[in-house]
Amino acid sequence: MLTRRRQKLAAIHIAKKELGIADADYRALLLKSTGVRSAADLKNDTQYFTLMRAFKEAGYKPRYQALWGRQVKKQGYNCSGAQRRYIKGLWILASRAKTERSLRAMIRRIGGVDDLRFLTKAKATAVILALRDMAEKVGFNPDRKPKEAHGRL
């Protein structure tokens, strides 16, 4: 597994390659934005993010956001995309007030976080169970498979 420093250096060189800039132009951009002549001389995250911002202003569009901006938590810790979609779907079916604000209030009350994307898998399961109970109280059976379309359109 690559170390964090090597990941950053790899991201810098990928950006350089995807922009297709010459080595002299790359060195000038590096010197202008961070004050160093080589990416290996970057000392802290501030210099790295400044350089990546300069690449972005030059037209680079990063495909992966793991090293750009805030640090992203490991995928195994956060709830999955399927859990988030299931929560939103159950919320639309079961709630009286179908607003994002009321969903966030429920997530804050049960999960202890401000937004759906910050839920852990265990807390997402707790929210799902609460929503399933709500759905059953309003007469929707979450275990029932959806009806198939009869005939052809």
What residues contact 19, with CB distance under 8 A and at least 6 apart? 55, 58, 59, 60
Condensed to tens digits (0 to 9), the pLDDT of residues 54-89 reads 998 888 887 765 544 444 444 446 888 889 999 998
pLDDT of res. 79:
84
Q: Higher-confidence residue: 153 or 9?
A: 9
pLDDT of res. 151:
52
Q: Higher-confidence residue: 135 or 148?
A: 135
pLDDT of res. 5:
86
User: Average per-residue pLDDT in the chain?
Assistant: 83
Percentage, residues of the chain above pLDDT 90: 33
Q: How far is CA 39 from CA 12, 13, 45, 51, 109, in A?
A: 8, 9, 12, 9, 46
Sign of the dihedral through C-alpha 53, 65, 79, 88: positive
Contact 51, 33 (CB under 8 A): yes
Condensed to tens digits (0 to 9), the pLDDT of residues 11-46 reads 898 889 888 899 999 999 999 999 999 999 998 888
pLDDT confidence tier of residue 150, bands split at 50, 70 and 90: low
pLDDT confidence tier of residue 93, bands split at 50, 70 and 90: confident
